[in-house]
Amino acid sequence: MAVLRDYQEMGPTDHRCLCLMGEYQAEEVLELPTRPCCRGPRRLLSEVATEGRVCTPTLTLDTPGSPRDDEGEGQDYSGHTLVADPILVANGDEQGNRRPNSTPLQSPPVPLGRMEAITRHYETVEQLSNTQANFLSRTNQASTNKTYDLTWQKWAMWCQTNEKDCLIYDAAMVCKYLSYHHHIDIAKTQLNIDRSAIASVFKVIHSNSLPLANHYLIQVFFKALRNNSQYPARPSTPVWDPEKVLAKILDWGPTGDLSMVRLQCKTALLLCLTTIWQTSSDVRRLQFQDITLIRVPSPPHMVETVHLLVKKTKEGMMKDLTLSAIPSHLELCPVYTLTVFLQKTEHMRSSMPIDHTLFLGFVEGSQPHSIRPSTMSTWIKTTLSECGVNTTIHKGHST
């Protein structure tokens, strides 16, 4: 039985049935002398139409038919119409050719990360273990590494777009990259971060080459950037007079007669004024074990100098400073005030951890502890307010 492949209108019929036009058309359609015994809705009558067209189905017919046809006449199918086993047809064109499968889109490879490039160099070139490579790659603070990693990713993507190798030492290519960022209005500080991030990798994998910051192209670029940058004029910020604060400290009375709270606040104020260190990030982090008192050899063995050491700073490197005593002005001498403060808090520190801070919280309580970051700024801000300084403009770090 064949099926036509073109679409044509159905011919007229009185039986309302679809029929198939065979390969060899018969002039007459035979009718079985008997009808099926079952007249249910699921049974097809043997009387069919003589004309008509059908469209090509999505299934093809198996011409050999069902193997049940060969079982003989002993099987009684009660007049059921037999349909050959269907076979699925592949999706193709009219000639039967299969359509080629579309090639999946491939994403571009991810550029090599900054820390990965450094550790890989240590492992492959320097023949170090993974543990040693990871240790040597931690030369910066965590926040700096995070900034450098993001910046390096932009540099690597730019090199990939321009079909360049981001690991090759090429100052001209770095200059082009910085110039590209400058033309899209990237701030000068960000351009300097870009250079530093790239140089952090080049100084490791190209240790025998000239440092990137010393290359004449990079120096010329930043010199031209400084000369052509227009910065808005800064508004003049009023300053406060330190004489007011010193006069207020003298009004508190002799150093030896001050309460623990006043004595600690006076010590912090004098150290902030004389060291010019940051209040919260430097002075607040001073540890008791890093304070060294140097006394004169002759009696009465007065403290002559004090050595201060800050191991953890905001910049990521240690700071140290040596202060000398001012014998002619003991009440305003930071060395003398610090010595008195250490003597009066010595009994409190015996049960505290070895890394506790110089300044203490709840210094008059039963359980003093290391000072919190915000406490130091509160002390300074309160004292400045008592001296008539506008603390809405001058915060705790203004000392």
pLDDT at 313: 72
pLDDT at 240: 78
pLDDT at 57: 52
Helix (H, G, I), strand (E, B) or coil at 134: helix
pLDDT at 72: 47
Cβ neighbours of residue 66 closer than 8 Å, sequence gap 6 or more: 82, 83, 84, 85
Amino acid identity at 79: G
2 exposure class (CB count in 10 Å sphere: 0-12, 13-18, 19+): exposed
pLDDT at 61: 47
CA 64 to chain centroid:
67
Are the CB atoms for 160 and 145 separated by under 8 Å? no
Length of the chain, in residues: 399
Tokens (6 digits) for 392: 């809405």
Q: What is the rounded distance in angstroms from the CA atom of residue 393 to the CA atom of residue 396?
A: 10
For residue 300, whether the previous peptide bond is cis, meaning omega lies within 30 degrees of 0, is yes
Q: What is the rounded distance in angstroms from the CA atom of residue 307 to the CA atom of residue 314?
A: 20
Are the CB atoms for 181 and 194 separated by under 8 Å? yes
Q: What is the rounded distance in angstroms from the CA atom of residue 177 to the CA atom of residue 138?
A: 26
Which residues are registered as beta bridge partners of 293? 306
pTM flag (> 0.85):
no
Domain ranges of the chain: 1-69+77-95, 114-228, 242-398
For the chain, the distance separating the N- and C-terminal CA atoms, rounded to the nearest angstrom, is 102
How would you write the pLDDT of the chain (399 residues) with one tens digit per residue? 444 444 455 455 555 555 555 544 545 545 555 555 545 555 555 555 556 565 555 444 445 544 444 444 444 444 555 555 555 555 555 555 555 554 444 555 556 788 999 999 999 999 999 899 888 888 888 888 899 999 999 999 999 999 999 999 999 999 999 988 877 667 778 888 999 999 999 999 999 999 999 999 999 998 888 887 665 555 566 777 888 889 999 999 999 999 999 999 999 999 988 988 888 788 888 999 999 999 888 777 788 899 999 887 766 678 899 999 998 999 999 999 999 999 999 989 988 999 999 999 888 887 888 988 788 888 888 888 888 887 777 766 666
pLDDT at 101: 52
pLDDT at 254: 94
pLDDT at 155: 93
Tokens (6 digits) for 285: 């982090």
Instruction: Specify the residue for token string 């009375």.
Output: 253
Q: What is the rounded distance in angstroms from the CA atom of residue 212 to the CA atom of residue 175?
A: 10
* CATH superfamily for domain 114-228: Tyrosine recombinase, N-terminal domain (1.10.150.130)
CATH class of 242-398: mainly alpha
DSSP 337-349: HHHHHHHHTGGGS
Q: What is the rounded distance in angstroms from the CA atom of residue 257 to the CA atom of residue 269?
A: 17
DSSP 195-244: HHHHHHHHHHHTTTSPPGGGSHHHHHHHHHHHHH---PPPPPPP---HHH
